[in-house]
A and B are shown apart, each in its own frame.
Chain A
Amino acid sequence: MSPGVDSAMGAAVPTLTRLVRIPLLPRLVRLLPLLVLLVVWKAVTDAHWYPPELLVPPSEVWAALLELIETGELQNHLQVSLHRLGIGMALGCGFGVLFGVVMALSRTVETYTAPLFHVIRQVPSIALIPVLILIFGIGETFKILIVIKAAFFPVALATYTAVQGIPRPFFEVARVYQLPRAVLFRRIVLPATIPPIITGVRLALGRSWGTLVAAELLAAEAGIGQMMEFARQMFRIDVVMVGVLITGLIGFGFDRSFKWLEARLLRWRVR
């Protein structure tokens, strides 16, 4: 990979520059796979290679989407899911940053918590559902806890690594200049740690969204995952496909927004 391409793709380059560097045509070319997918999907359903009840034509999925929007069903499910995601992400990221900082700064905390931290981190959130229900009941709490768990670990890990990664000489220089604590924090610690933490949050968001939808497939009264699960029971594969599409698009949207945020927050690096 040439250095030019590298910097064009790197997060350190502001968005504006990227827009200028990639001309309109190649940007449209990037939509090509999506278009090809649609065309192949349509062709395969037109050829009746698969039963239309199972591989629903794109037009019917579109009709199902419009129907779900018209009845307000999709909005209801989405609202429930996004509400869970919002609260869970806020709490999970908050705790994650706090815990990551403490674990990085205190050797004692690290010694005592690291084994448990790394063990729980490896357990898929969905495997915890029965335990969570047993402790927290069947209300919203356990679904939000699943999001918190999915968000907490990537953010805690990213924060821990970021704080640990601040080069020692930075602190030494600060001591030499006798920088006040507030300034040290604002001018050195924050700029050095925010970018990796934002990356951690971006990973956490993707993981939480996927986990939440999966948890809703298993145990929920509403939410986009439950909409898909019930549709499968009812043999409404068109509705399942709408769910798949919406889940993918929302996940993609989140990821892109955070990439954009990352790029914006890192503008200072170019200066």
Chain B
Amino acid sequence: MSLQSVGFALVLFALSAALPAAAATPKVVRIATVAYFDADKPLFVGRPSIIARQGWLASELSKRGIALQWVPASHTAVGPIINEAFANHSIDFAEYGDLPSIIVNAAGVATRVVVPSGIGLDTYLVVPAGSTAKTIDDLKGKRIAIHRGRPWEVPLLRLLESRGLSYADFKVYNMNPQAAAAALAAGSIDALYTLNDALILEDQHVGKIIWSTRNAPPDWKMRAELWAAKDFIDRYPDITQLVATAYVKAALWSSQSENKDALIKLYTRPGIAEDLTRREYDNGAVPWSERWSPLFDAAVIDHYRHVTDYAVAKKLIRKPLAPDALLEPRFVNAALAQLGLTDYWRPRPVQGAKP
């Protein structure tokens, strides 16, 4: 590249950075979500695949001359990738975990929960198949693996707290789930706390699940919601409403039991059996339609209070954060009213009971 062309590029760059984007509508709405890669082709699972199938959002946006773009975030580092993208203004919405969202807000990048994702995901305590341990108490002094700083660390700490335990009572190993699965198979750890890959380990007779958040209070689950950049909400409330309405429509479709089989297909990530997804979502712990509730109920509010407190207590964030300010329920409420669904889902109370 010649010196002139470098200079020209720099000038262009400076201009583009200096010009305020004053358009009334954006050219594109970018929604980031976890993706699995088949060769170099991203595969989306979960709510984005329903919304893409329904086609309503894409067509509503295109009527206004706006494109819809799904931005893939590799499942190996969803939190950091999406946080960096929000900070860089290269996405407008993202569907991802609770803890990274709180971390990015504490760092000064403002984002808001626009549509909660339902009751949340279960997390599991797995021990080697031949282990005699039956509860977390039996694992005292033993080696336990967890990927530190990932969203499923919060429910583990809740479990420990509820039993009067802490990390000091164990030998804690920090490793990603892939490495931990090998370690569990080799018997070089005594327990692993992880996501639904625990079900795979159980199927392969490598491990057995001795505890999960399935029967724990509803606010103990790991949550991933639809988050939006605050400046996007402020600038384009109408577009935000469209996206939120699309997500509520997807929640309605999900909650109808005749769509159960189709949903299980759309929620099954490549490389795992459909049966596993079925066991994860259709296990009778919660009525099917309630599982997909988009309400900002007490369980959601309490969950974010707890995760924020945890992040402050563990010094993961340096500035305290007002958790209630992270929640932006007006779009869901408007969508429910618009779609005539105000009484469709019931808000869940938070039980004080310990599992």
Contact = CB atoms under 8 A, between A and B. Distances in A.
The residue in A53, A54, A134, A235 that gathers the most chain B C-beta atoms within 10 A of its C-beta is A235
Given A53-B109, A138-B175, A235-B80, 13 more contacts: A50-B88, A51-B88, A54-B84, A138-B173, A138-B189, A139-B188, A218-B179, A220-B174, A221-B172, A234-B103, A235-B83, A235-B104, A235-B107
Interface string A84-96: 0000000000000
B188 A221 contact: no
B89 A51 contact: yes
A230 B149 contact: yes
B176 A218 contact: yes
Nearest to B186: A134
Nearest to B150: A233
Contacts of A130: 178-179, 182
A219 interface: yes
Nearest to B17: A49
A51 B188 contact: no
22 contacts: A49-B14, A53-B87, A53-B109, A130-B179, A133-B183, A138-B188, A138-B189, A139-B188, A218-B176, A218-B179, A219-B176, A220-B174, A221-B174, A230-B149, A230-B174, A232-B77, A233-B100, A233-B150, A234-B149, A235-B80, A235-B103, A235-B107
B303 to A, nearest CB: 20
B108 to A, nearest CB: 6
Contacts of B109: 51, 53
Interface of B: 13-14, 17, 77, 79-80, 83-84, 87-89, 100, 103-104, 107-109, 143, 145, 148-150, 172-176, 178-179, 182-183, 185-186, 188-189, 316-317
A146 B157 CA distance: 32
A234 B316 contact: yes
Contacts of A218: 176, 179
Per DSSP, are chain B's interface residues mostly helix, strand or loop, or mixed?
mixed
Nearest to A133: B182
B182 A232 contact: no
Interface of A: 49-51, 53-54, 129-130, 133-135, 137-139, 218-221, 226, 230, 232-235
A219 B179 contact: yes
The residue in A133, A220, A232 that gathers the most chain B C-beta atoms within 10 A of its C-beta is A133
A133 B84 contact: no
Contact of B179 (A49, A54, A129): A129
Which 7 A-B pairs give the minimum distances between C-beta atoms?
Answer: A137-B188, A233-B149, A219-B179, A133-B182, A51-B87, A53-B87, A130-B182
Nearest to A141: B188
Given A218-B176, A221-B174, A138 B183 contact: yes
Nearest to A230: B149
B62 to A, nearest CB: 30
Contacts of B108: 53
A134 B182 contact: yes
Contacts of A54: 84, 87-88
A133 B107 contact: no
Contacts of A50: 88
Contacts of B13: 49
A50 B109 CA distance: 13
A137 B189 CA distance: 8
A198 to B, nearest CB: 35
A220 B183 CA distance: 13
A221 B145 CA distance: 10
A219 B173 CA distance: 9
Contacts of B174: 220-221, 226, 230
A129 to B, nearest CB: 6
Contact of A133 (B88, B150, B186): B186
The residue in A51, A218, A226 that gathers the most chain B C-beta atoms within 10 A of its C-beta is A51
Contacts of B84: 54
Contacts of A129: 179
